[in-house]
A and B are shown apart, each in its own frame.
Chain A
Amino acid sequence: MDIFDVIGPVMIGPSSSHTAGAVRIGRVAREILGRPAVRAEIGLCGSFARTFRGHGTDRALVAGILGLAPDDARVRDSLQLADSLGLTYAFHEEHLQSAHPNTALLRLWGEDNVRCEVQGASVGGGNILISRINGMETQVTGQQETLIVLHRDEPGMIAAVTGRVADSGLNIGNFRLSRPKKGAQAVMTLETDLAVPAPLLDELRGLPGITRVVPIPANRSV
């Protein structure tokens, strides 16, 4: 914690958990989709479902899906912005087993019909936990610089990715792999001490078997 965690962050109100955290969840989903979303189906659980209008959680999630930051004044008008940018959205109540009370389940589609599904919770103070990506379990908090790598489950994938990260001199503080079944899609998450530089991102994206490489900047730089 530093002084700007207490005198800050600068954010759009009214609630760090129901508004600022919700923007961040939407942004992560947008990054995982990897292109502008044209359609969003947004499921809300618990407290999110009960109070979303009063807290602007709906506008916050849509703002995030449009790529806005938690301190962007346009968060307030994001629903109109979505209309003008060609994003259609719909909200529904979602019942998920043992989910955090502030959980959202985002299903996004891009123009080319590429889709993704992201489940995230706003766990307080604007902090988030992304617990599922395309049905695969994750534990992305965004507290550290994080790299999300979607890939085919094949021998050598972990070594190929972590080897290149290590060669660049970056230290990996945490690593996690999730695969629902052998030989299908899998997701790696790596927390690094510093941000992964753009050339390395491009190199990773060029590796065979890699579907998507998504850098999530640490909380304070968002």
Chain B
Amino acid sequence: MLDYDSIGELARRAASEAVTIGRLVLADQAEQLDLPQDALLRRMHRNLDVMRAAARDGAQKELRSTSGLTGGDGWRMEQYAASGRALCGPLGGRAIAIAVAVAECNAAMGRIVAAPTAGSCGILPGALLSLLEAGRVTEEQAALALFTAGAVGMVIANNAGVSGAEGGCQAECGSASAMAAAALVELQGGTPEMAAHAAAIALKNQLGLVCDPVAGLVEVPCIKRNAGGVANAFAAADLALAGVRSVIPVDEVVGAMREVGGAMPCALRETAEGGLAATPTGAALREKLFGRGD
């Protein structure tokens, strides 16, 4: 059985058994949960279905969050990406549109898959569904890639944590981006080692990202950080697939994320007291929504 305390070790095990990290983890989780692999795959397919429905529901033009602060940007980005003018290309543009739509669906009290958290729920759907829609991967491959992503997330959760209150946004959107980067590499036929490098690069690029939600709501800047997270995952995956290696090994990056999170002042860890939440506009929005004082 696997311990999920090292991404490097997961990659080595997968390489030595000549399987993907996704396959290795599916087999291990089936053993640990005492369930057939089929049952686990079916459950992951259902998660994929929830992601797809969220991407659709979140792209409604008239959608608004419960607070009224956000909504409609998923639709806006979808239109733009469909026009073919996106600088990131049709695939990258679509991935960003899906990430924003799913995060907006979350803000509007829609049904989502926390991956790893609700605040970062758009990043994996953006990465996987864009490839699926483009016909570049099968449903089966996408479901397996969620096992790859989940394994990366489990190691980060075990060794550093994935909540904004503990480690800032790097722990939420950073982790989701690293999970998506590893999944993308396996979907593109990269090696387990490349997947580990992609996770490392993605996480390094988000290191230090603070959690500073305006008015304490999972909206500003969370929704757009989902767009940033998926774009970063594509960049990290492409670098790794090109043969670029992370100088700092992935597990040391996770350790650094834990240290950085611990060093973050409380005001920048989901308390809505610092960063963007404390800007004049952020403070004014908070007062408008909830009135003065605590």
Chain A residues near B69 (CB, 8 Å)? 54
4 more CB-based (< 8 A) A-B contacts, given A13-B121, A14-B119: A12-B111, A53-B289, A75-B109, A124-B163
Residue in A6, A14, A16 whose beta carbon sits within 8 Å of that of B65 in the complex: A14
In the complex formed, the residue of B with least CB distance to A50 is B290
| Most chain A CB neighbours (cut-off 10 Å) among B50, B105, B112, B294 | B112
User: How many residues of A are in contact with the other chain, CB < 8 A?
Assistant: 33
Question: Does B114 contact A56, Cβ atoms closer than 8 Å?
Answer: no
CA distance A54 to B285 in the complex (A): 12
Task: Report yes or no: A10 in contact with B47, Cβ–Cβ below 8 A.
Answer: yes
A3 with B165: in contact, given A12-B111, A13-B218 (CB under 8 Å)? no
Q: State which residues 1-54 of B face A: CB under 8 Å.
A: 4, 25, 29, 32-33, 40, 43-44, 46-47, 50
CB distance from A197 to the nearest CB of B (A): 19
B149-157, B238-246, B251-259: which lies at the A interface?
B149-157
CA distance in complex: A68, B262 (Å):
37
A48 CB to nearest chain B CB (Å): 11
Interface residues of B in 95-115 (CB under 8 A from A): 105-115
Across the interface, A11 reaches (CB within 8 A) one of B46, B108, B112, namely B112
Q: Inside 8 A of A59's CB, which chain B residues have their CB?
A: 109
Q: Is the CB of B215 within 8 A of A56?
A: no
Residue of B nearest to A77 (CB): B109
> Could you tell me if A4 and B115 are in contact, using CB atoms closer than 8 angstroms?
no
Q: Can you list 24 residue pairs at the A/B interface with Cβ under 8 Å?
A: A1-B154, A2-B32, A3-B29, A4-B43, A6-B115, A6-B157, A7-B115, A8-B114, A9-B113, A10-B50, A13-B108, A13-B110, A14-B106, A14-B217, A16-B117, A19-B109, A47-B216, A50-B290, A51-B215, A54-B69, A54-B219, A54-B289, A55-B216, A56-B109
CB of B150 within 8 A of CB of A6, answer: yes
- Distance of A20 from chain B, by nearest CB (Å): 8
Closest to B272 in A: A51
Inside 8 A of B4's CB, which chain A residues have their CB? 1
From B47, B109, B119, contact of A7 by CB (8 A): B47
In the assembled complex, the Cα of A51 lies from the Cα of B177 at a distance in Å of 28
Within 8 Å by CB of A53, from B40, B66, B106, lies B66
Q: Is the interface of B mostly helix, strand, loop or mixed?
A: helix
Contacts of A7 in B (CB 8 A): 44, 47, 113, 115-116, 124, 146, 149-150, 153
Residue of B nearest to A46 (CB): B294
Q: Please, which residues of chain B bring their CB within 8 A of the CB of A56?
A: 66, 109
Cβ of A55 and Cβ of B47 under 8 Å apart?
no
* Contact partners of A19 in chain B: CB under 8 A: 109, 118
The 5 closest A-B pairs by CB, nearest first: A13-B106, A6-B153, A54-B67, A3-B150, A14-B218
Cα–Cα, bound, A53→B112 (Å): 19
Which residues of chain B have C-beta atoms less than 8 A from A50's C-beta?
Answer: 216, 290, 294
**A125 contacts the other chain (Cβ, under 8 Å)?**
yes
Q: Which of A6, A8, A11, A54 contacts B66 (CB 8 A)?
A: A54
A76 on interface, CB distance cutoff 8 Å: yes
Q: Which residue of A lies closest to B53 (CB)?
A: A73
Verify if A111 is at the interface (C-beta below 8 Å from B).
Answer: no
Could you tell me the distance between the alpha carbons of A124 and B117 in the complex, rounded to whole angstroms? 10
How far apart are the CA atoms of A59 and B109 in the complex, in Å? Answer: 10
Given contacts A1-B157, A6-B115, A7-B113, contact A13 B150 (CB under 8 A): no
Out of B46, B113, B118, B154, name the residue touching A15 (CB < 8 Å): B118
Q: Which residues of A contact B158 (CB under 8 A)?
A: 1
**A28 to B94 CA separation, bound complex (whole angstroms):** 41
Say if the beta carbon of B147 comes within 8 Å of chain A.
yes
How far is it, in angstroms, between the C-alpha of A151 and the C-alpha of B145 when the chains are bound?
50
Given contacts A2-B32, A7-B149, A51-B216, contact A14 B111 (CB under 8 A): no
Cross-chain contact B151 with A3 (CB below 8 angstroms)? yes
> Contacts A13-B109, A53-B67: A2 and B29 contacting too (C-beta < 8 A)?
yes
B77–chain A nearest beta-carbon distance, Å: 19
User: Nearest chain A CB to B37's CB is how many angstroms away?
Assistant: 12
Q: How far is the CA of A104 from the CA of B225 in the complex (A)?
A: 30
Q: How far is the CB of A216 from chain B (nearest CB, A)?
A: 21
Contact of B113 with A10 in the complex, beta carbons under 8 Å: yes
- Name the B residues within 8 Å of A5 (CB-CB): 154, 157
Q: Are B111 and A15 in contact (CB under 8 A)?
A: no
Of the residues B32, B110, B146, contact of A12 by C-beta under 8 Å: B110
